[in-house]
Structures are given as structure tokens and as C-alpha cells.
Amino acid sequence: DARVTQTPRHKVTEMGQEVTMRCQPILGHNTVFWYRQTMMQGLELLAYFRNRAPLDDSGMPKDRFSAEMPDATLATLKIQPSEPRDSAVYFCASGKRDRGDQPQHFGDGTRLSIL
């Protein structure tokens, strides 16, 4: 089965450190999404890309977060500097444009804890 792969699965670091999360979307999927899940806010869209171009990153705090797709097989989400309030599970999802710009397959997430 094709799947979205995220690394690392878990990350614990101290506040102020840079955090990089990586995602390998399903081959052939041309839309990629980054979501954050917390108990308080639920699932929030941070950014999404179509054909590697960022289309919407309005959900992302621009001063510390950045999202890129250096190539079609890799998406990255960086936090610098990290803060305790960034602790959450971060999901990457991918989809195909011909199925609408919607996340069809999610990875298993990166559980991030900022101390």
C-alpha cells in the first residue's frame, strides 16, 4: 500500500532549538498538506502545496514556521526557534489534484514536545 511517510515520529527538544520535520508524499500525488493536531484546537491546516508551489500558508506563524518542497518527493516543515506552545502532533497529507485539493492520505505524524 502506498503511504505518506513522516520523520521523525517523535521529537523532544528544548525551547529555542530548530526543529525540522520531513514528509515523503505518495508518489504521483501533487498536493501536500501540513496539519497540526492538539487537544485544544483539533486539526488545523498550516500550509498546503500544489505541484510544489505553496498555495496557502495562512495558518502558519510566519515568524517561526517555514514550509518548503525542495522536490516532489520531499516536504519539510521547520520551526525556528521552537516554543513550548508548538508541542503537538504534526501531520503531513497528500492528494491528487484530480480528486480535488483535499488531503486523501495522512502520514502517522510527528509527535513534537518542546520543553
Partner 1 sequence: QQQVKQSPQSLIVQKGGISIINCAYENTAFDYFPWYQQFPGKGPALLIAIRPDVSEKKEGRFTISFNKSAKQFSLHIMDSQPGDSATYFCAASKETSGSRLTFGEGTQLTVNP
Residues near partner 1, by CB under 8 A:
4, 42-43, 45, 48, 50, 55-56, 59, 91, 93, 100-109
Is 65 or 91 the residue whose CB approaches partner 1 more closely? Answer: 91
Rounded to the nearest whole angstrom, what is the least distance from the CB of residue 16 to partner 1 in the complex? 28
> Residue holding cell 508541542?
87
- Residue 113, by phi and psi: left (phi above 0), alpha (psi -120 to 50) or beta? beta
Is 72 or 89 the residue whose CB approaches partner 1 more closely? Answer: 89
- Cα 78 to Cα 12, 54, 97: the distances in Å are 14, 15, 25
